[in-house]
């Protein structure tokens, strides 16, 4: 059976590292576009999406279970896991490049603990067989902290090697990855607000037209 996949989400004033190139309204629209791609992928992978949001949001797919908890990420996940008695996954809402294949690799791991690093030391996705035991330690060295914790528990561990799942979209240059590697809601949203790819001195960036 496929596990539920928790997607933590903050709908208001998200993606602050894009402030220099997007208004708050645009950042909120962009975060929603990424969320919709992640939700669709979770459903396509045969899993149940659980949206763990800091506040109610409109127009969410009826197949999504919504939990509103106005808490920090670690605190919200800690409150969630206490109610679980089976496995679950956690997938960040900004994995705009995620696809069914990479997500199924996580959801169908034979290990007791699956983890996908994010660039810069973060944790982009987790699978935990013994859900109620999970201890969320996001921010900073979270990949190493989660990995150390899983080793201490004696879990079998799979570190999933996926560019698509390891790419979280935080910085202006990360938009390059969206425009090159996807054609879904997130890329459509970027096109709609005028972002295009450009090459300068052999390197690729985005610009606004």
Binding footprint of its own copies on the chain (CB under 8 A): 99, 101-102, 116-117, 119-122, 139-141, 143-144, 161-167, 173, 176-177, 180-181, 197, 199, 202-204
Least Å distance between CB 138 and its own copies?
Answer: 9
Least Å distance between CB 141 and its own copies?
Answer: 6
Least Å distance between CB 171 and its own copies?
Answer: 10
- Closest to its own copies by CB, 42 vs 165, is 165
**Which 8-state DSSP code applies to residue 68?**
E
User: Strand pairing partners for 206?
Assistant: 197
Would you say 19 and 5 are in contact if contact means Cβ atoms under 8 Å apart?
Answer: no
Least Å distance between CB 84 and its own copies?
Answer: 26
Task: Write a three-state SS string for 125-167.
Answer: EEEECCHHHCCCCCCCCHHHHHHHHHHHCCCCEEECCCHHHHC
User: Strand pairing partners for 208?
Assistant: 195
Least Å distance between CB 18 and its own copies?
Answer: 15
Nearest to 87 by CA among 101, 117, 107: 107
Least Å distance between CB 49 and its own copies?
Answer: 21
Q: Which two tokens stand for residue 80?
A: 């969630």
| C-beta neighbour count of 24 within 10 angstroms | 13
- Closest to its own copies by CB, 54 vs 166, is 166
| C-beta neighbour count of 39 within 10 angstroms | 22
- Closest to its own copies by CB, 62 vs 199, is 199
- Closest to its own copies by CB, 109 vs 166, is 166
For residues 40 and 59, give the distance between their C-alpha atoms in angstroms, rounded to a whole number. 14
- Closest to its own copies by CB, 21 vs 67, is 21
- Closest to its own copies by CB, 188 vs 204, is 204
């Amino acid at each position: 059976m496929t596990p539920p996949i928790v997607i933590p989400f903050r709908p208001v004033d998200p993606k602050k590292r894009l402030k220099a190139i997007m208004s708050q309204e645009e950042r909120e629209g962009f975060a929603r576009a990424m969320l919709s791609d992640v939700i669709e992928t979770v459903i396509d992978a045969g899993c149940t999406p659980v949206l763990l949001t800091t506040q109610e949001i409109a127009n969410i797919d009826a197949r999504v279970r919504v939990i509103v908890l106005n808490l920090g990420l670690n605190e919200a996940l800690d409150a969630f896991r206490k109610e679980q008695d089976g496995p679950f996954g956690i997938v960040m809402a900004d994995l705009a490049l995620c696809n069914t294949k990479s997500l199924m690799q996580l959801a169908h791991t034979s290990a007791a603990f699956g983890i996908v690093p994010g660039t810069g030391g973060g944790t982009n996705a987790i699978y935990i067989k013994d859900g109620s035991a999970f201890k969320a330690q996001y921010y900073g060295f979270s990949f190493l902290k989660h990995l150390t914790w899983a080793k201490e528990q004696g879990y079998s561990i799979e570190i999933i090697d996926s560019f698509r799942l390891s790419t979280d979209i935080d910085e202006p240059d990360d938009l390059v990855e969206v425009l090159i590697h996807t054609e879904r809601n997130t890329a459509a949203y970027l096109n709609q607000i005028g972002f295009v790819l450009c090459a300068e001195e052999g390197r690729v960036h985005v610009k606004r037209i």
